[in-house]
């Protein structure tokens, strides 16, 4: 498990066993290489087909401007759950290139896309998802289940919240969204979703002390909703 604050030669280790990497803007990579345009188009088409099977018709596409590598668009899908309507935002492009998973680790997905649930789409949601999607490629690292990414150092709250200042990446709990690896494979690699969940510094502290499953236990105890609520209190 990792927590990304910035890169350091000898990573710190939290009491719960999380490796803490410290990154700075100076370490941001500018030497990224893309994939052939034809391949990128094929991957985008494959994602569109897979997303259609899971989410049905796309509502909006927030295309990334400029010549970024990889190009990360964000697609939104309007859905209903228990009678309530909400939006599902998913990235499309993060999985164009596999992440450099350390050889000693077995199990983490090489290719992932991000998923986020909200009642109302805001520009900040889209921009943050793109930032996280570019992060492993820019820093030549990887992200996976249980990783946390704070909003700066010291972290500041996300999206109108007063306390939720860190992003936790975990598997989606909405059942259809867990099927992505069965629906989408790129160059032999199954693609998985990572659910982006804002948490508080106190919750992140618990995760660092006892591991990310301790947060899942809290979510279960408090019946944590999948749709983002900026007013939710910290569970710690």
Q: How confident is the model at residue 104 (pLDDT cuts 50, 70, 90)?
A: confident
Q: Flag whether 42 is in a domain.
A: yes
Q: Flag whether 76 is in a domain.
A: yes
Q: Flag whether 236 is in a domain.
A: no
Residues spanned by the domain of 76: 2-26+35-221
Q: Flag whether 7 is in a domain.
A: yes
Q: What is the domain count for the chain? A: 1
Residue 139 gets which letter from DSSP? T
Distance of CA 208 to the CA centre of its chain: 18
Q: How confident is the model at residue 101 (pLDDT cuts 50, 70, 90)?
A: very high
> Which pTM was predicted?
0.86
Determine the average pLDDT of the residues in 136-146: 94
Q: Is the predicted pLDDT of residue 6 greater than 80, yes or no?
A: no
CA 196 – CA 61 distance, rounded (Å):
19
Q: Flag whether 235 is in a domain.
A: no
Q: Flag whether 111 is in a domain.
A: yes
Q: Flag whether 99 is in a domain.
A: yes
Q: How confident is the model at residue 35 (pLDDT cuts 50, 70, 90)?
A: confident
Q: Is the predicted pLDDT of residue 127 greater than 90, yes or no?
A: yes
Q: Is the predicted pLDDT of residue 120 greater than 60, yes or no?
A: yes
Does residue 22 contact residue 40 with C-beta atoms inside 8 Å?
no
Q: What is the DSSP string of 163-180?
A: SEEEEEEE---SGGGGGH
Distances (CA, A) of 99 to 16, 72, 113, 169, 185: 25, 15, 11, 15, 15
Q: Flag whether 18 is in a domain.
A: yes
């Amino acid at each position: 498990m990792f927590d990304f604050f910035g890169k350091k030669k000898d990573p710190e280790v939290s009491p719960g066993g999380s490796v803490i990497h410290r990154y700075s803007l100076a370490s941001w990579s500018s030497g990224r290489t893309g994939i052939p345009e034809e391949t990128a188009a094929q991957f985008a088409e494959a994602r569109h087909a897979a997303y259609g099977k899971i989410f049905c018709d796309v509502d909006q596409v927030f295309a990334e401007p400029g010549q970024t590598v990889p190009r990360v668009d964000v697609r939104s899908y309007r859905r209903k759950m228990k009678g309530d309507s909400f939006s599902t935002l998913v990235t499309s492009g993060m999985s164009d290139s596999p992440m450099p998973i350390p050889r000693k680790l077995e199990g983490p997905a090489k290719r992932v896309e991000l998923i986020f649930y909200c009642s109302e789409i805001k520009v900040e949601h889209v921009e943050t998802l793109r930032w996280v999607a570019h992060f492993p490629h820019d820093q030549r690292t990887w992200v996976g289940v249980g990783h946390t990414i704070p909003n700066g150092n010291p972290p500041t709250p996300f999206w109108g919240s007063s306390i939720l200042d860190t992003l936790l990446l975990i598997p989606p709990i909405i059942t259809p969204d867990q099927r992505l690896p069965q629906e989408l494979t790129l160059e032999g690699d199954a693609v998985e979703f990572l659910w982006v969940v804002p948490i508080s510094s106190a919750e992140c502290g618990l995760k660092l002390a006892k591991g990310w499953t301790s947060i899942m236990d809290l979510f279960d105890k408090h019946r944590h909703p999948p749709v983002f609520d900026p007013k939710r209190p910290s569970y710690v």
